[in-house]
Structure 1
């Protein structure tokens, strides 16, 4: 299910100069903002929730997911080099699963870890807020990686589509429109944060059992369909 060579090539592509700059810039911005806020206002639980929920989980995590998920396979499809990869004796679902694992790893490292650090900076993990949001960022990373990896297999404009989803649906509609919140990865992951955090510190519009079911279902469905699209792409390339 995991192919080391595919993983190495994927890591190399994701951590190239331009993508690496964005991957490092967003977490660095979060930590700088957190330090400045802590210095100016001191430790405050409400401020920590606003920063970690409003910037880290709602904006930074999906954006990093876009970069990692689409970057794991999109460029190879665009330039046609994926056909050479798929001509090797590697099962198609193994390719997708390996790339998904890499994308998840990159997204977790560049989103959940900085979120945890920022939370400790903002309020010292009072009411378990830092740990709660870091856990939410980690589970959201899994779903985002699968969704955006799928986008990388179905469209050549995966980055644009991913940005629209991340910035318009998740950050805007998912935060403001009640009905859209139940169909938001952000809200699903917040259900876990609500469970971990102190009572009343964090809230979600989705219950934890439903949220976990949706997270697992979306991740599995996106991974399955990405594998299916990759098989179709291979057949088309070989014809």
Structure 2
């Protein structure tokens, strides 16, 4: 009988394998360019002389470009591919057949997606918050909200990558249709939109009102964390029961 792989070792194994397959030149360059565009827009706004309130201007720019576009799209590209690509090309079977629990595989893949997504999103967003002269409050709010967003979106999209084919399409549907349209018309839908929690973090720290940003700082941090755990648990269950071989 094969010796069962310890959870810590299994997680490191999954993390290393997934990280190597996620880091491709095309993905990194394309998404880094998106981040540069966001920073360029922020620099142009920061250079303008007609801003009455730099903090409000910065919050709205970070929210509209960063947390509406950059954070969810970057997380979608990497997290949906973390296990989804391996399932599609049948290489996931090499992890699946090893004598180890499924949850370390999922957590390792999620951590790999987060490892790549965080710098690609946080560096340009923090640079943007500095460029618009929003002060330390905006920088701190951007860093916290960006981290929470990447962690939560990555967990959700790892799950979608295991559940559905064409995960990019389904993920874009969630980001553009659910978060962009449906969440604006009902409180229940808004509570199922990660964007509402990242905006609430911005609002709570900077005191600049944003649509969907009416939750407390604690709720803005805790609920996405709980949702991430639930998504990873569901992904672990899915990996355990699915037929890969």
TM-score range, shorter chain: 0.7 to 0.9
Deviations 1:62-96 (A, max 9, x none): 11110121011111001111012222233211110
Residue 19 of structure 1 aligns with which residue? 27
For normalisation by structure 1, the TM-score amounts to: 0.88
Structure 2 Cα separation of the partners of residues 209 and 101 of structure 1: 23
- Aligned twin of 2:152: 143
For 1:79-90, list aligned pairs within 5 A. Answer: 79-90=89-100
- 1:117 — aligned with what? 127
Counterpart for residue 4 of structure 2: none
Higher helix share: 1
Moved more, 66-75 or 87-96: 87-96
Could you tell me whether the CA contact under 8 Å between 2:19 and 2:112 is conserved in 1? yes
How many angstroms apart in 2 are the aligned matches of 1:135 and 1:213?
Answer: 12
Q: Summarize the alignment of residues 149-160 of structure 1 with structure 2, pairs less than 5 Å apart.
A: 149-160=158-169
Q: Which runs of 5+ in 1 are unaligned?
A: none
2:116 — aligned with what? 106
Structure 2: distance between partners of 1:5 and 1:237: 19
Which secondary structure state, in structure 1, belongs to the residue aligned with residue 244 of structure 2? helix
Match of 1:221 among 206, 221, 230: 230
DSSP-derived class of the 2:132 partner: helix
User: Would you say the 8 A contact 2:201–2:217 is kept in 1?
Assistant: yes
TM-superposed deviation, 1:17: 2.5
Following TM superposition, the consecutive aligned residue runs of length 4 or more in structure 1 with deviations greater than 4 angstroms are none
Structure 1 residue 6 corresponds to structure 2 residue 14: yes
Q: How many residues get paired?
A: 232
For residue 171 of structure 1, report the CA deviation from its aligned partner.
Answer: 3.0
Superposition RMSD in Å: 2.0
Which one of 157, 167, 175 corresponds to residue 176 of structure 2? 167
CA distance in 2, matches of 1:90, 1:41: 60
Structure 2 residue runs of 5 or longer lacking an equivalent are: 1-6
Change (3 A) 1:147 1:33: same
Return the match for 1:92 from 83, 102, 107.
102
Q: Is the 8 A contact 2:18 2:109 kept in 1?
A: yes
Calculate the TM-score normalised by the size of structure 2: 0.86
The 3-state SS of whatever aligns with 1:27 is helix
Q: Tell me whether 1:237 sits opposite 2:244 in the alignment.
A: yes
Does the CA-based 8 Å contact 1:136-1:189 persist in structure 2?
yes
